[in-house]
Chain A
């Protein structure tokens, strides 16, 4: 009897064990909640104002690359300087005795081309000697004319790549195609004429590069760890005997880009990109009825290009939209974390309206009403392309001015019948 009783209790407990499964499809309107979520979509056409553009955030010498371009409206040329080894060098690695550097036999220059249009034919590089005094203040006019100082025969990339093993046995040039990183590594031989050792300069040299192609030519050459390096093959004076030696690899002490003409001046349009880089600041009057009592589910910044973005197709670039930490005009510090950044791709030549999803930015403003409601447009890779886009500003006609399209949900009337 005891076991039967226990079994009875167990069965009762098992049958009434805690379970919960309540989700069921609704049969509206009779068996649905009285209230539904209400979604509103609105275009804020007059809420962006006091917008302006500024240039000079990233200068050519601060860019991560050197730019070479031969495009309508812009002629860009990389320039770089390598400080020399000095006037003396060790005769033997294990001996502190040094000898005077008398002359150079040759040198080998290594370049990383990190962006190029593989469809551009007859892409040709020409190297020019420049004064070693080049620095960040050097302009195109300062180093002009480039043509007077050609140091070696032009390098045709297509011809070099067509050689067996991509090595030109005549010139001593070679190339390596890095298909993983999409780079082209050039190893170029400079003879004693091209790589002159001038004792008065302690071996410092400076070069400039000019490019051409059958179509629009635009390439980017690496800097820093991917920058140009020069290896010297010299003759040392060892007891009045000139002995050959190889000096270590020298990186560029200075690398920049000069352009002609200079970057166009900022006007009333909203410029983004270019070299030096330009940014645009847009101030948004964020309506309180959205900020305070709604949930934003989608927000789109609508920009109309005033002119097509110019450049080679390879120069299509990404524009980022950031919120600012504090609105200080041109010097506003931007929030760079991914949660407060949105992007879109700007295609060269396109005039289509640009739409950038900025939902997270407006949600951030709604969550923290102390944040300034300003947006900054900038190129993701600033000063790494001559391409630049210009949008109509807020003072333009209604159809052209910047707009925000916001889709939001009103507060659900919880508890109401």
Chain B
């Protein structure tokens, strides 16, 4: 009973990435701001640039699609990115591995499905090295600074969804934002008479958000999805002292899905997020994606397990900085 079918995706996606909001894991663009926002997408949804995300029950962006889950399902995702950061003519190769998604969902009543899991809300891992000098004791002292941050803010979601009618499903979720980063600041002087500066701290983050979504079947094979989310503020604490309080964005989005047959899907999505609330230098963002999928994918163990492999190519450009990223994505889904 092996089903052999190839999954082919065609992707067209754009991220209106402005300062502080560049999407995807780890980025030099996220050093100055809050961090690099997460994607709320499973491997399969991400492989289509997010075009099908509003309709994917395993992506934590929307809750309403959970209502159509037939069985208990768990999914996890790993992503390894290979980046080249071109800063002022100097190219540096960077690598990182993240586990940005874990989601467990299942039906608990005929009309009620729930899901719990986490995804990356903000990735805050970076390591910046600077070479500079300053006047100290009447002499020019050269030094090397290294500022690092290692950690992230996770979005712990508890969601519920219900199919109200044959055409309408709704869902809602609460989001606990929690995480920590281990940050270090080091300065090494060329003149060793000056001792090396080494300071470190563990910064803890917390926040809260709510979301809701709706899935509407317009006609057989044609669906619309809409979602909205509001997060309050991200509180950063160092040794039980609040060091920063940052307003988090509100977001709305939607998508359309056309599935003329079980093996052909065409979709598109759009999202807006008010990142400008986060403070000076941040901007609201628009993102949109379109994609098509042919085939139903490959499953294992009589349909109880599937593995998704995706490769993502990104290029981000800013004044004085260009990043080129290849990301290898691996997702495992189990239906026991």
Do A31 and B199 touch across chains, with their CB atoms under 8 A apart?
A: no
Number of interface residues of A (CB under 8 A): 45
Do B244 and A416 touch across chains, with their CB atoms under 8 A apart?
A: yes
Do A32 and B31 touch across chains, with their CB atoms under 8 A apart?
A: yes
Do A31 and B246 touch across chains, with their CB atoms under 8 A apart?
A: no
Do A297 and B95 touch across chains, with their CB atoms under 8 A apart?
A: no
- The stretch of B58-66, B222-230, B289-297, B314-322 that contacts the partner chain: B314-322
Q: Interface 1/0s, chain A 376-413, versus B by CB < 8 A? A: 00000000000000000000000000000101010111
Beyond A12-B330, A26-B129, A415-B244, whether A298 also contacts B96 by CB under 8 A is no
Do A26 and B87 touch across chains, with their CB atoms under 8 A apart?
A: yes
Beyond A22-B26, A297-B195, A407-B194, whether A30 also contacts B201 by CB under 8 A is no
Q: Interface 1/0s, chain B 106-147, versus A by CB < 8 A? A: 000000000000000000011111110010110000000111
Distance (whole angstroms) from the CB of B316 to the closest CB of chain A: 11
Q: Interface 1/0s, chain A 338-351, versus B by CB < 8 A? A: 00000000000000
A24 within 8 A of B: yes
B128 contacts which chain A residues (CB < 8 A)? 23-26, 31-33
- The stretch of B44-52, B77-85, B155-163, B208-216 that contacts the partner chain: B77-85
Do A295 and B199 touch across chains, with their CB atoms under 8 A apart?
A: yes
Do A24 and B95 touch across chains, with their CB atoms under 8 A apart?
A: no
Q: What separation, in Å, do the CA atoms of A267 and B28 have in the docked complex? A: 64
Do B94 and A414 touch across chains, with their CB atoms under 8 A apart?
A: no
A28 within 8 A of B: yes
A359 contacts which chain B residues (CB < 8 A)? 195
Q: What separation, in Å, do the CA atoms of A36 and B203 have in the docked complex? A: 17
Q: Interface 1/0s, chain B 1-32, versus A by CB < 8 A? A: 00000000000000000000000001011011
Do A409 and B80 touch across chains, with their CB atoms under 8 A apart?
A: no
A15 contacts which chain B residues (CB < 8 A)? 80, 328, 330
Do A24 and B92 touch across chains, with their CB atoms under 8 A apart?
A: yes
Q: What separation, in Å, do the CA atoms of A184 and B197 have in the docked complex? A: 48
Distance (whole angstroms) from the CB of A195 to the closest CB of chain B: 57
Do B243 and A413 touch across chains, with their CB atoms under 8 A apart?
A: yes
A13 within 8 A of B: yes
A16 within 8 A of B: yes
Closest to B237 in A: A415
Do B31 and A31 touch across chains, with their CB atoms under 8 A apart?
A: yes
Closest to B198 in A: A295
Q: What separation, in Å, do the CA atoms of A166 and B34 have in the docked complex? A: 82
Of the candidates B80, B150, B238, the one whose C-beta lies within 8 Å of that of A19 is: B80
A180 within 8 A of B: no
B165 within 8 A of A: no
In the complex, which residues 255-291 of chain B have their Cβ closer than 8 Å to any Cβ of chain A?
A: 279
Do A415 and B28 touch across chains, with their CB atoms under 8 A apart?
A: no
B185 within 8 A of A: yes
Do B87 and A412 touch across chains, with their CB atoms under 8 A apart?
A: no
Do B201 and A414 touch across chains, with their CB atoms under 8 A apart?
A: yes
A142 within 8 A of B: no
Do B96 and A19 touch across chains, with their CB atoms under 8 A apart?
A: yes
A20 within 8 A of B: yes
Closest to A405 in B: B137
A24 contacts which chain B residues (CB < 8 A)? 28, 85, 87, 92, 94, 126-129
Q: What separation, in Å, do the CA atoms of A27 and B187 have in the docked complex? A: 17
Lowest 10 A-B CB distances belong to which pairs?
A415-B243, A414-B201, A415-B236, A415-B203, A26-B128, A22-B127, A23-B127, A15-B328, A412-B185, A19-B95
* 18 A–B contacts from the bound complex (CB under 8 Å): A16-B79, A18-B80, A19-B80, A20-B96, A23-B92, A23-B128, A24-B129, A25-B90, A25-B128, A26-B128, A27-B320, A41-B136, A41-B137, A363-B195, A409-B199, A414-B199, A414-B243, A417-B279
